[in-house]
Amino acid sequence: MCGPPAGATAASMVTAVGGGVTLAFHQLRARRNNDCPAPDAPAGVVSVTISGVQVGGTAPLTLCVPRPDLLRGARQIGVELELIDMSAVVDACSYRLALPIAATGAVTATGVCDDGRAPAGFGLDFDVQAAVERTCGQTRDTLQMTLTGLVPVVPSDS
């Protein structure tokens, strides 16, 4: 069955929690941008970029799926999905993914049809750990954050 599960509603969010901070992202959209093509992808399979924004802001959460034809069940971050960007601003501090420190964990996809292009969309359930660099004025540190949440993803042509 195509579409996100019942628990993934428009009000659902991905939350990143760690170091006493919570970052929240929503409005995830899937686009066939071919930003991270897999060399072993069959002809016609185009990589998909999934992006959302910080709740109450515009900072991004971005993933790339090299093989959307395999986007079913649990997919490993760093192997089958790439966490490309995560940025946020909270209480005059900025947060960004601490690269090149690799994120770990998995994202579970449900209801994916037509390589993520079906109008019904699909659902993603996050269980990911990532290092995030926090900058507050002149002070910088790195937080270990856990991203969780069951969210809908809608297809987009733009």
Span 132-144, mean pLDDT?
Answer: 97
Is pLDDT at 79 greater than 90 in this prediction? no
Is pLDDT at 157 greater than 80 in this prediction? no
Q: What is the Rg, in whole angstroms, of the alpha carbon atoms belonging to the chain?
A: 15
Is pLDDT at 117 greater than 90 in this prediction? no
Q: What is the mean pLDDT of the chain?
A: 94
| Residue 156 burial by Cβ neighbours in a 10 Å radius (0-12, 13-18, 19+) | middle
What's the pLDDT score for residue 158?
A: 59
Is pLDDT at 144 greater than 90 in this prediction? yes
Residue type, 147: L
The residues near 91 (Cβ < 8 Å, ≥ 6 apart) are none
Q: How many CB atoms lie within 10 A of CB 100?
A: 6
What's the pLDDT score for residue 1?
A: 85
Q: Fill in the DSSP letter of residue 115.
A: G
Is pLDDT at 15 greater than 90 in this prediction? yes
Is pLDDT at 116 greater than 70 in this prediction? yes
Q: Which of 26, 19, 86, 28 is nearest to 55 (CA)?
A: 26
Coil, helix or strand for 82? strand
Q: How many CB atoms lie within 10 A of CB 147?
A: 24
Better-predicted residue by pLDDT, 31 or 99? 31
Chain centroid, CA 5 distance in Å: 17
Give the CA count within 13 Å in the CB-facing half-sphere of 40. 4
pLDDT in tens, 52-74: 999 999 999 999 999 999 999 99
Span 17-34, mean pLDDT?
Answer: 95
* Residue 122, both tokens: 């699909």
User: What is the torsion angle, in degrees rounded to the nearest 10, for the CA atoms of residue 34, residue 104, residue 94 and residue 20?
Assistant: 150
Is pLDDT at 111 greater than 70 in this prediction? yes
**What's the pTM?**
0.93
